[in-house]
Amino acid sequence: MALTAFLLPASDLAAQTKPIDWRTFTAETQAILANYLRINTTNPPGNEILAARFLKAILDREGIEARILDTTELGPNRANLYARLRGNGGKKAIALVHHMDVVPAVASYWTVDPFSGVVKDGYLWGRGALDMKGDGIMHLMSMIAIKRSGIPLTRDIVFIGNADEELGSTGAQVFVDRHADLLRNVEYLITEGSDNYLDANGNVVYFSVGVAEKRAFWQHVLVKGTPSHGSKPTKQNPVPRLIAALYKIAQYETPLHVTPGVDKFFRDISRTYPEPRHTWLSNIAAALGNPEAREWILNDVYWNAILRNTISLTGLTGSNKTNVIPPEASAEIDIRLLPDQDPDSVLALLKRIVADTAVHFTPLLTPKPPLESPTNTALFSAVERAVREREPKAFVTTPMETGATDRPIYRRLGIITYGLSGFKLPQVEIQRGVHGNDERVSPDNIAYGVRFFYDVLRYTQ
């Protein structure tokens, strides 16, 4: 039998695969997701080992090699999970990565118990349904569907569950630091970092492939002075000096800059706009030179944020007593850089703008490595094909993520990483549920996502 299979051309091999009964497979998928949502992996403290054991048991049952990793390094009750479905090694592997932890849920704000995994009103409810246990189960079950149907693989499929994405990203960090060998032949990596966009009638306008993300470059700003009584003002009061510096920063307009993914994003969405907006968006760099177009474009807070480095003044501390001039005053600034920007030059520029050596900047975090993935790849084409087949009116585009994901950590190893979602959700569900309350997903949507990933994996072979 094995010999016959070996001699057959690929097209005949494909014909030998066993079809999946998607109706029963969907029911099985829903039950697995409900159980996954019942595992409380609120971070802190995480307790991801429970999730890792749960996933490993399923993988063991399917005969897919799986390992629980990094339990010592990540601390008590924490772990990463790694699994691999082997192909013939003809091409490099593709990895599906999700985080097993979830943000806290305040039960009193929820309609149901956030860890009940209950089905109600046509939805499966639970913290993590959208961010990102739902995706994790889409990844898992699409891989299992490939295994069960016996599709011949040229690329291994790697499945990873990480701890701690929602807090410190230690899960991905430790994984990349300790297991570069397990990722050595991985060419593509898929994780969160993009939302598909629906119109008011619930039709998909576009599917998103996240190819780039902003880099957080938060700063602590400090001015030291001499404490004294508020009744006798002095020149050594650090508060006005800090305010003067912050005012200059607030007045500063960061330059506009179009990165390749953002350029493509605007070109892609231009087709959904009437003139003159269609023309403006189809050449965003030119439009930014036109005052009318520029005003309209930058009025959109998301578009503004993907066209420039942004600076938000957020934290502020002076005296905690009205009649005391404090010894120091400080602020925190949320700076987000476009992927191709150099953090050191941006910091040097800020210092020049402030032009006061008494104002001290200290980075609150090291920026993650820059992330801007190419779109002329086998995986990107596979996504386009899978989308075309199920949503012929929709297109695939590349919005930039303004927040942060674990993608750049994997990018460090040279892996081409994408944000990809199998959800077909109205914006309102995403906004309410993700890090909010009443996070839920319809079972149909989970089934849709599993088949979407199943096709993407097949078409990338």
What would the x/- binding string for Zn ion be over residues 165 to 204, using CB under 5 A? ---------------------------x------------
Q: Least distance in Å: CB of 405 to Zn ion? A: 7
Q: Which letter, b or e, does each residue of 345-381 get, where b requires 16 or more Cβ atoms within 10 Å of its Cβ?
A: ebeeebeeebeeeebeeeeeeebbebbbbebebbbbe
Q: Least distance in Å: CB of 166 to Zn ion? A: 7
Helix (H) or strand (E) holding 287: helix 284-287
Q: Which residues contact 164 (CB under 8 A, 6 or more apart)?
A: 43, 46, 48, 74, 78, 99, 101, 170, 171, 172
Distance spanning both ends of the chain, measured CA to CA: 23
Q: Is 15 helix (H, G, I), strand (E, B) or coil?
A: helix
| Residue 131 binds Zn ion, judged by CB under 5 A | yes
Quote the tokens at residue 461.
Answer: 């072979």
CB 72 within 8 A of CB 164: no
Measured from the CB atom, the residue of 70 and 165 that comes closer to Zn ion is 165
Which of 118, 116, 100 shows the shortest CA–CA distance to 56? 100
Q: Which stretch binds Zn ion (CB under 5 A): 127-135, 152-160, 182-190, 347-355?
A: 127-135
Quote the tokens at residue 194.
Answer: 């993009």
What would the x/- binding string for Zn ion be over residues 265 to 304, using CB under 5 A? ----------------------------------------
Measured from the CB atom, the residue of 74 and 269 that comes closer to Zn ion is 74
Measured from the CB atom, the residue of 70 and 192 that comes closer to Zn ion is 192
Q: Least distance in Å: CB of 390 to Zn ion? A: 24
Residues forming beta bridges with residue 222, ordered by sequence position: 330, 360
Q: Least distance in Å: CB of 193 to Zn ion? A: 8
**Size, binding site for Zn ion by CB under 5 A:** 3
| Residue 102 binds Zn ion, judged by CB under 5 A | no
Measured from the CB atom, the residue of 131 and 156 that comes closer to Zn ion is 131
Place of tokens 């084409």: 381
Measured from the CB atom, the residue of 48 and 131 that comes closer to Zn ion is 131
Measured from the CB atom, the residue of 318 and 433 that comes closer to Zn ion is 433
Measured from the CB atom, the residue of 156 and 195 that comes closer to Zn ion is 195
Measured from the CB atom, the residue of 346 and 446 that comes closer to Zn ion is 446
Q: Which stretch binds Zn ion (CB under 5 A): 15-23, 108-116, 132-140, 396-404?
A: 132-140
Quote the tokens at residue 312.
Answer: 């938000």
Q: Least distance in Å: CB of 131 to Zn ion? A: 4
**Cis amide linkage into residue 276, ω under 30° from 0:** yes
Q: Least distance in Å: CB of 333 to Zn ion? A: 24
Q: Least distance in Å: CB of 190 to Zn ion? A: 13
CB 282 within 8 A of CB 265: no
Which runs of E-coded beta strand occur in 28-141? 65-69, 80-85, 93-99, 119-120, 123-125
CB 161 within 8 A of CB 175: no
| Residue 132 binds Zn ion, judged by CB under 5 A | yes
Q: Least distance in Å: CB of 97 to Zn ion? A: 11
Residues 37-66 that bind Zn ion (CB under 5 A): none
Q: Least distance in Å: CB of 124 to Zn ion? A: 18
Measured from the CB atom, the residue of 211 and 329 that comes closer to Zn ion is 211
- What letter does residue 53 receive in the DSSP assignment? H
Query: What sign does the CA torsion over 279, 284, 286, 289 have?
Result: positive
Q: Least distance in Å: CB of 133 to Zn ion? A: 10
CA distance 389 to 385: 6
Q: Which stretch binds Zn ion (CB under 5 A): 24-32, 129-137, 321-329, 408-416?
A: 129-137
Q: Least distance in Å: CB of 10 to Zn ion? A: 37
Q: Which letter, b or e, does each residue of 211-239 get, where b requires 16 or more Cβ atoms within 10 Å of its Cβ?
A: bbbbbbbbbebbbbbeeeeeeeeeeebbb
Measured from the CB atom, the residue of 166 and 391 that comes closer to Zn ion is 166
Q: Least distance in Å: CB of 288 to Zn ion? A: 32
Which of 432, 270, 235, 256 shows the shortest CA–CA distance to 338? 256
Measured from the CB atom, the residue of 95 and 325 that comes closer to Zn ion is 95
Residues 372-431 that bind Zn ion (CB under 5 A): none
CB 267 within 8 A of CB 286: no
Measured from the CB atom, the residue of 254 and 421 that comes closer to Zn ion is 421
List of residues contacting Zn ion (CB under 5 A): 131-132, 192
